[in-house]
Chains A and B, each alone.
Chain A
Amino acid sequence: FGFFHGFYAEEKLVGNLVSMSTSERIKAIQKMPETMKKKREIRNKVLKEITKKSRHRSTQLSCCTECLQGTVVSFRRFGNSLSECFHLLQLWHKTLKIIRAEFGTSVLSYFIFLKWLLTFNIFSFLINFSFITIPQFIAAEPNNLSFTGLELLTGAGYFQQTVLYYGFYTNATISKIENGPSYNMQLAYIFTIGIYFVICFLILLFSIAKSFCRNFINPQTYTGNASKLLCTWDFNINNEKAVKLKQKNLSTQIKEDLTEVNREVLNFSVTERVVRIVIHLVSWVASLGTAVAACAGVYFLSINNLKLFVKGHKNDLESQAAMLVLPIVASLLNAFIPFFYSWLGHLERFQTPGHQIYVTITRNIILKISIVGILCYYWLNIVAASESQCWETLVGQDIYRLVLVDFIFCLLGSFFGEFLQRIIGTTVCVNLGLPEFDIGRNVLDLIYAQTLTWIGILFSPLLPGIQMISFSIVFYVKKVSLMMNCQPPRKVWRTAQMTTSFMFLLFFPSFLGVLSVIGVTVWRLKPSEECGPFRGLSSMYDAVSQWIKILENYTASKWVVWIYHNLITSELFFFILSVLVLIFTYLYWQIIEGRKTMTKLLHKQIIN
Chain B
Amino acid sequence: MGNKQTTFTPEQLDAYQDCTFFTRKEILRLFYRYRDLAPQLVPLDYTDKPDVTLPYELIASMPELKDNPFRQRIAEVFSEDGDGNMTLDDFLDMFSVLSEMAPRDLKAYYAFKIYDFNNDDYICKSDLEKTVNKLTRNELTPEEVSLVCEKVIYEADVDNDGKLSLEDFQHMIIRAPDFL
Contact = CB atoms under 8 A, between A and B. Distances in A.
A33 B19 contact: no
B85 interface: no
Interface string B124-140: 00001001100111011
Interface stretch (A147-155, A237-245, A325-333, A438-446): A237-245
Q: Which of B155, B178, B180 has the most C-beta atoms of chain A within 10 angstroms of its own C-beta?
A: B178
A54 interface: no
A496 interface: yes
B160 A607 contact: yes
A232 B148 contact: no
A199 interface: no
A255 interface: yes
B152 A233 contact: no
Contact of A238 (B68, B103, B173): B68
B67 A35 contact: no
A182 interface: no
Interface string A525-562: 00000000000000000000000000000000000000
B179 A231 contact: yes
A250 B173 CA distance: 19
Interface in A239-258: 239-240, 243-244, 247-248, 250-251, 254-255, 258
Nearest to B101: A30
B118 interface: no
A502 to B, nearest CB: 15
Nearest to A225: B151
A255 to B, nearest CB: 7
B176 A222 contact: yes
A250 B18 contact: no
B135 A239 contact: no
A414 interface: no
A227 B19 contact: no
Contacts of B23: 80, 83-84, 87
B155 A43 contact: no
Contact of B131 (A230, A238, A243): A230
Contacts of B20: 30, 36
Interface in A36-84: 36-37, 39-40, 43-44, 80-81, 83-84
Contacts of B25: 84
B21 A247 contact: no
A510 to B, nearest CB: 24
Contacts of A218: 175
Contacts of A251: 135-137, 139-140
A603 to B, nearest CB: 7
A254 B139 CA distance: 11
A37 B174 contact: no
Given A30-B19, A83-B23, A254-B148, A226 B172 contact: yes
Contacts of A494: 178
A43 B67 contact: no
B59 interface: no
A215 interface: yes
Contacts of B174: 217
A341 B15 CA distance: 59
Given A229-B132, A607-B160, A80 B63 contact: no
B144 A243 contact: no
B120 to A, nearest CB: 14
Contacts of A229: 128, 131-132, 135, 148, 152
Contacts of B173: 231
A92 interface: no
Given A39-B19, A233-B135, A496-B178, A222 B172 contact: yes
Given A229-B148, A238-B67, A243-B67, A30 B93 contact: no
B54 interface: no
A496 B131 CA distance: 24
Contacts of A214: 177
Interface in B50-65: 63-65
A235 interface: yes
Given A229-B131, A231-B178, A606-B159, A254 B144 contact: yes
A255 B144 CA distance: 8
A43 B176 contact: no
Q: Which of A230, A254, A603 has the most C-beta atoms of chain B within 10 angstroms of its own C-beta?
A: A230
Contact of B24 (A80, A232, A240, A495): A80
Contacts of B106: 31, 33
A50 to B, nearest CB: 13
B61 to A, nearest CB: 13
B151 to A, nearest CB: 5
A528 to B, nearest CB: 51
A130 interface: no
B142 interface: no
23 contacts: A1-B109, A30-B20, A31-B105, A35-B93, A36-B89, A80-B23, A214-B177, A215-B177, A218-B175, A224-B155, A227-B178, A229-B131, A229-B152, A230-B152, A231-B173, A238-B66, A238-B68, A244-B137, A247-B135, A248-B139, A254-B136, A494-B178, A495-B178
Interface of A: 1, 26, 29-31, 33, 35-37, 39-40, 43-44, 80-81, 83-84, 87, 105, 214-218, 221-222, 224-227, 229-240, 243-244, 247-248, 250-251, 254-255, 258, 494-497, 603, 606-607
Interface of B: 15, 17-21, 23-25, 63-69, 80, 89-90, 92-93, 96, 98, 103, 105-106, 109-111, 115, 128, 131-132, 135-137, 139-140, 144, 147-148, 151-152, 155-156, 158-160, 169, 172-180
Given A243-B68, A494-B178, 14 more contacts: A30-B96, A31-B105, A37-B89, A214-B177, A215-B177, A224-B151, A226-B151, A230-B152, A235-B68, A240-B67, A251-B135, A251-B139, A258-B147, A607-B160
